[in-house]
Amino acid sequence: MPWVLIILIVVVAIGLFGFLSSKVDELSGIGREHTAGSFRWPHGKVVRTRILSAEKEHERGEIAKKVLLPCIVIAAVCAVLTMFGPVVSYGNVLTVASLLASLVIATLVCGKSDAGRAFCYAVAGLGIACTVLILITRAYVSVSTAEVNAFTAIFGAVGASVGAAILPARVTFAREFADETVGCVRLSQRTAAAALLLDLQDKEWEVPEHVREQAKRLEKRSKVSPAAASQPPSRKNEE
């Protein structure tokens, strides 16, 4: 169905744009040196940072089990129905319903503090799993449509579960640039940008109150929107 492909392309394009935008902001003022005022370094180099908040890493194995069990049960039921049940002709609908159920379960279980990112990771895991399945089925031309639907439901459930379970914890940094602009950024604890910002941490720095307020608003926003990765910087002397 062409419309499904169009929707998928639009969703992926929006997600990719948000991801790249957040990455550019995360790396602003750190890493390889660029000219101050340029697109990569609009405020020059980051001179100091301070951690304002950090999430605890969850136990991924336990989370994966909690997600995987209900997802596999739903996928297995759909797989049986698409192959042997009285609703074989509705195999495509059942498969889509199974995949959506896997995404919802993964998001609800893994996204208690950050539903948007949990959903994105679940979608990515599901997409990778289904891509692997497509590559496998390409090698076996004798596979029937019913079998493809059944395997898609199961592979999708596993992919969504694993994707959401590896969701990394996040950390919020306050940062000051060379031109005395201050702001905050929220990012994954496992990124290279987080390590670089941590190296610049000054625990004695009294972070302005308006930056702390920005960080609180940012944390609330990022729980719903995966693209909300940073707050616009403001001048150091701003009230």
| Same domain as 71, residue 37 | no
In terms of phi and psi (left: phi > 0; alpha: psi -120 to 50; beta: otherwise), the region of 27 is alpha
Identify the domain boundary among 165, 198, 215: 165
> Which pLDDT score, from 0 to 100, does residue 235 have?
47
Element (H, E) at 119: helix 115-138
Q: Residue holding tokens 């702390």?
A: 212
Residue 50 has what pLDDT? 92
Q: Are residues 134 and 219 in the same domain?
A: no
The domain total for the chain is 2
Order of strands across the sheet that contains 170-177: 46-54, 170-177, 181-188, 234-235
Copy the structure tokens of residue 61: 């194995």
User: Please, what are the averages of pLDDT over each run of 10 residues along the chain (239 residues)?
Assistant: 59 71 79 73 85 74 72 80 67 81 82 72 85 80 76 86 81 87 85 88 88 80 44 45
Asked if 83 and 115 sit in the same domain, the reply is: yes
| Structural domain span for residue 195 | 2-57+169-235
The residue from 114, 143, 165 where one domain ends is 165
Pair (88, 152) in one structural domain: yes
Which two tokens mark 77? 């039921």
Question: Is residue 78 domain-shared with residue 127, that is, in the same domain?
Answer: yes
Is 93 in the same domain as 43?
A: no
DSSP codes joined into one string, 40-76:
S-TT--EEEEEEEEEPPPP-HHHHHHHHHHHHHHHHH
